[in-house]
């Protein structure tokens, strides 16, 4: 059953149950890190308590000493789906958003070394800043959207969703084979090359084509 795209999806920050992230999903990032191209999406989860909107600051937790920015296209699920084919996956997209997937690299480095989970390094409070909802019909092609991020006015990330290894239908189909996606869930599709650490006092700005921009101040906990 195709999704019914309605205004309820615009409240994804308040009504969503989970955030699904995809790591290492830009070819430019794979080439820069000189690692193997993933054969399946590298999926992780974030709690919805990590959401913030413009007007609130990004707060760096005391327990972390290296947190990095990652600018991303967010995909908002429009209706409940399970075991969706790639061919029908876009029918379940309710809309989009601009997002940041802030990552405690100090924690993830240790987690990768021991084979541990990424939950703490990905799911801390204020780690998922998001823009207002972008309606489905406002985006002609989600795989042709430029992304950029500045720190203190200086460009740090610049990419395009054309560089995604796993496209939006690939991700939705893959994830829905393992867990049910529900209305207002958010998928973070990955970040281009250029993710680096930032600090308290910085100002982070980012944008998605001519669809959305965001600006956040950064402070310590």
CATH number at residue 30: 3.90.850.10
Is residue 161 a part of any domain in this protein? yes
pTM, rounded to two decimals: 0.94
Query: With bands split at pLDDT 50, 70 and 90, how would you rate the model's confidence at 119?
Result: confident
198 forms bridges with which residues in the sheet? 67
Q: Domain limits at 96? A: 19-203
219 forms bridges with which residues in the sheet? 59
Is residue 52 a part of any domain in this protein? yes
Q: Report whether pLDDT(42) > 50.
A: yes
Is residue 7 a part of any domain in this protein? no
Helix, strand, coil percentages, rounded to 5, for the chain: 25, 35, 40
Separation of alpha carbons 118 and 172, rounded Å: 21
- How many structural domains does the chain have? 1
Is residue 122 a part of any domain in this protein? yes
Query: With bands split at pLDDT 50, 70 and 90, how would you rate the model's confidence at 44?
Result: very high
Give the tens place of pLDDT for each residue, 154-165.
Answer: 999 999 999 999
Q: Report whether pLDDT(1) > 50.
A: no
Separation of alpha carbons 66 and 44, rounded Å: 20
């Amino acid at each position: 059953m195709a999704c019914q795209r309605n205004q309820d999806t615009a409240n994804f920050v308040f009504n969503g149950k989970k955030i699904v992230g995809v790591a290492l999903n830009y070819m430019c990032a794979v080439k820069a890190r000189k690692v193997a191209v993933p054969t399946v999406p590298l999926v992780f989860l974030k709690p919805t308590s990590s959401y913030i909107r413009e007007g609130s600051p990004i707060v760096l937790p005391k327990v972390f000493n290296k947190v990095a920015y990652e600018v991303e296209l967010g995909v908002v699920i429009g209706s409940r789906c399970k075991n969706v084919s790639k061919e029908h996956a876009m029918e379940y997209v309710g809309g989009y958003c601009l997002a940041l997937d802030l990552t405690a690299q100090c924690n993830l480095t240790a987690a990768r070394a021991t084979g541990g989970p990424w939950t703490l390094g990905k799911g801390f409070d204020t780690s998922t800043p998001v823009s207002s909802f972008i309606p489905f019909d406002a985006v002609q092609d989600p795989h042709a959207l430029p992304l950029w991020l500045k720190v203190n006015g200086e460009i740090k990330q610049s990419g395009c969703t054309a560089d995604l290894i796993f496209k939006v239908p690939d991700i939705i189909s893959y994830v829905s084979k393992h867990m049910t996606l529900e209305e207002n869930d958010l998928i973070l599709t990955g970040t281009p090359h250029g993710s680096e650490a930032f600090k308290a006092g910085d100002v982070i700005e980012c944008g998605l084509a001519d669809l959305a921009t965001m600006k956040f101040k950064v402070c310590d906990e």
